Structure 1
Amino acid sequence: MNEAKRLKLEVSTKPTLIPILADVLTEELPLIEVYLATIKDPKTISRVVVELNTVLPIPELTHLKRVKGKQILLFPKNIVERDNVLSYLTEKGFNTDLIEGDIKVGKVAQIAPKVRKQYEVVHKLWPCNFHSNPYLEKLSTNSLFSQSELEKHAEFMRIAIDICEITGVKESAVVVDPVGNTVVAFGFDLSQEYPIKHAVMVAIDEVARSQKGGVWVRHKDYEKIETFIKTKYKDLEFGFSNSEEGPYLCTGYSVYCNTEPCITCAMALVHSRAKRVFYGVKSAKGALGSLCKIHIVENLNHHYEAFSGLLEEE
């Protein structure tokens, strides 16, 4: 064996992927300037907090604690000039004799942290209320899947790769029912037949066929490809289970695409109510991380999770 082949065999082939998350989970939190004062007598902290919350509540900053040691958060800096803070507090009915006259300006988190990484940054500036969401933490730290689960995801992606190699096209999609890890349907790029017949669209139509629907004529080689896959992956089952989530098109299903779906396909996956989408290679026209992130657009009535980089090298 030559050195090049030996090195290739020694390269780790453990599958990896990257969650494509909403910006609110990954970006640094915006900060806002506020006025801070020092409470004269520590014994009056509770009284000061009650009075301020009564006469000058800050509904937009309820994620923040009002007190840090002897410091009290008064209100956002944009309300009045610094020289007018004490008179403004007096007008509101607050007893300014309870605080020192030296008003300071500080920066605090403008919105509540969503994940612990954000919380740890802004909590150092000013104490925040934070309730960790275990599922979001796993997503944001890319620890959602165990190694065995990653291997299973990789197996389904390899089916997508095989379909491309058999058909000679660059795009394919495999739809899986994760309840039983069964292959429900697959599709490959047939846009030379009709412009909208992208791999994902064909796969969705095949899913509809499995539910006594579907509108397109099945490709003449579909059964041959299916037979090849079943022969190569002997331990895999085909068909769908009676999931509590479906079946209604792709409800509860995972979709494996070797390339990032375009806007048309990404929206089709929204409407067919996919649960997760895994893809290997980013695309200049991709809608799950490149051009946009359709899967997490707030105003849409359905959202799914998206993961990139699965078997990207392969």
Structure 2
Amino acid sequence: MSKNIKVKSVLDSSLVEDIPLIEVFVDFVTDPRNISKVVLELNARCPTPELNHLKRVKARQVLLFPSADIKDEEVFSILKDKGFPVDLLKNEVHRVKVAASPPLVRQQYVKCHSAWPCNFHADKYLEKLHTNTLFQGEELKQISIFMDIAEEVGHYFCSSSGVVIVDPKINSVVAVGFNERPELTIRHSIMVAIDNVAKTQMGGAWSTADNSCDPKNENVNLNGIPENILVKLKEKYCSVNFGASVFTPKNGDPEGPYLCTGYDVFTIHEPCVMCAMALIHSRAKRVFYRMPSVNGALGSLCKIHTVKELNHHYEVFIVEEENINSSS
């Protein structure tokens, strides 16, 4: 039985919604040979810095300025007051709708450009996020395996949710977590997983960390994974690496980097507000989840990871899987 895996980005609304349109005044140039002169005069006397993402010319039409509360018959008077040579225009002023802000992805650009020509420089990485083509082949299989491990952890501890935290630099499972509620209110699976990451860095609030290493590899710390589940996971997922790089304080600083700096988080359920914020404070790099939640903070209830005022942002993905019968 194989799987069809789709990984969809959870993006800021500004990337998935249409760019809003505003009205502007345009007119026709009397002589096409004067288009360059018209543009130079308009840029000098009627600059529109808020519309710099737009071309000033469309065929023989030129963009004058936003309509705001101005009446059509007032346009030429305004141009004259600004010293613009109005004889360069036909005095056939009319209104058109144009993009109010620059397009961020190609899909937005196509719609904006059809309304009025605009500038656009594609961000290749952003385009892959927007078209859900960032992950391919082996990467998709690896994501699916880590999600399966998260589910395995949840089942093992009879928890409603399991979490796996991975260091992509060494492609290794650093820590796991499972839901320890209702007896312990704040011990959601992600909170437990983050605390287990802390155990690999000489910390941890909920139990003592001895900074023990893998007896077979002194460069690997296994404190982030309970021994009972570690044995089971190693047996079932023999191709997966387990353990964190041994934490070494630099210049006597016992704290080091933020807990989850550069780490990927795989969780069965969409994190709540508390857990989503904890991942922000921990400086996680990417978060993957399978199941949206009613109180989920990464797509359902809100999108905390896109709040511009926060000082850290991670990428979020929904992992959709469909079993495929490989037999003929």
Q: TM-score, normalised by structure 2?
A: 0.88
Instruction: State the AA in 1 paired with 2:268.
Output: N
1-side partners of 2:19 and 2:117: how far apart? 14
Instruction: State the AA in 2 paired with 1:257.
Output: T
Q: How many residues align?
A: 301
Aligned match of 2:275 in 233, 258, 265? 265
The structure richer in helix per residue is: 1
1-side partners of 2:13 and 2:195: how far apart? 32
Query: Paired residue for 1:190?
Result: 180
Post-superposition Cα deviations, 1:220-277, rounded to whole Å, max 9, x if no partner, equal x92101111111111111123489xx85310000000000000000000000000000
Shift of 1:119: 0.2
Aligned match of 1:169 in 155, 159, 175? 159
Aligned match of 1:37 in 22, 27, 51? 27
> Would you say the 8 A contact 2:24–2:97 is kept in 1?
yes
Instruction: State the AA in 1 paired with 2:238.
Output: K
1-side partners of 2:207 and 2:245: how far apart? 25
- Gap change, CA 1:169 and 1:250, over 3 Å in 2: same
Shift of 1:312: 7.8
Query: Paired residue for 2:290?
Result: 280
Q: How does 1:1-314 map to 2 (within 5 A)?
A: 13-217=3-207, 222-241=226-245, 248-311=258-321
Instruction: State the AA in 1 paired with 2:298.
Output: L
- Could you tell me which runs of 5 or more consecutive residues in structure 1 were left unpaired when the two chains were aligned: 1-8
Shift of 1:194: 1.3
1-side partners of 2:198 and 2:74: how far apart? 67
1-side partners of 2:119 and 2:246: how far apart? 42
Identity level (%): 50
> Would you say the 8 A contact 1:66–1:73 is kept in 2?
yes
RMSD value over aligned CA atoms? 1.9
2-side partners of 1:241 and 1:120: how far apart? 46
2-side partners of 1:191 and 1:53: how far apart? 63
- Could you tell me which runs of 5 or more consecutive residues in structure 2 were left unpaired when the two chains were aligned: 209-222, 248-255, 324-328
Q: TM-score, normalised by structure 1?
A: 0.92
The structure richer in strand per residue is: 2
Task: Provide the secondary structure at the position in 2 that maps to 1:279.
Answer: strand
1-side partners of 2:68 and 2:246: how far apart? 57
